[in-house]
Amino acid sequence: MTVAPGVRLRRVYDEPSADDGRRVLVDLLWPRGLSRDAAHVDEWLRAIAPSGELRRWYGHVRERFEVFRWRYCDELLEPGRAAALEHLRQLAGRETITLLTAARDFEHSQAAVLAQMLREGTLTPVSEPQERGGDPACWLPRVCRQCGSMADADPPTTCPACHAEMPGE
């Protein structure tokens, strides 16, 4: 697999630089308040953007980034996104590319995930995140307030460990 060290990462709102090379927007939606001329985008690769569902769940909450990265890598295995990723790999193998995003914290965006993957020649993150399920708070009603055990039933009525009554939500 080709490693592409000439991959840059920037906000689409930043002034273009002479060393940007090919500028590729990797967002699903066009950036607000920015004309196509002012963006200086050579290519808009919507097919590689995370799904709307994943994007809404993440909401650029930094504490969710590692789980977002993992889920996004899973989405990149889907045929349309995989083809778009291969297109990016080919571009990066031929020339310097700059991945653009409208995200304020672009270091914690899908563009950062893509840049790391292209630079390292990998598809998956280095390690699996601690949490792969939903938000941890969604399990709170199943935790026994007496002993801390987790109930299997939803909604639980009694604790499986200490048999204490568990109040509803």
Residue 167 sits in the same domain as residue 90: no
Residue 67 sits in the same domain as residue 145: no
Averaged pLDDT for residues 114-137: 65
Residue 139 sits in the same domain as residue 99: no
**Quick check: is 126 in a domain?**
no
Confidence of residue 145 (pLDDT cuts 50, 70, 90): confident
Residue 26 sits in the same domain as residue 63: yes
Averaged pLDDT for residues 16-31: 94
Omega before 155 within 30 of 0, i.e. cis: yes
Residue 15 sits in the same domain as residue 77: yes
SS3 131: coil
Residue 22 sits in the same domain as residue 71: yes
**Quick check: is 84 in a domain?**
yes
Which span out of 23-32, 120-129, 150-159 was modeled with the highest average pLDDT? 23-32
Residue 23 sits in the same domain as residue 82: yes
Output phi, psi for 143, to 5 deg.
-90, 125
**Quick check: is 98 in a domain?**
yes
Q: Which of 61, 67, 86 shows the shortest CA–CA distance to 76? A: 86
This prediction has a pTM of: 0.70
**Quick check: is 15 in a domain?**
yes
**CA separation, residue 167 to residues 62, 139, 162 (Å):** 33, 14, 14
**Quick check: is 97 in a domain?**
yes
Segments forming the whole domain that contains residue 69: 7-120
**Quick check: is 125 in a domain?**
no
**Quick check: is 1 in a domain?**
no
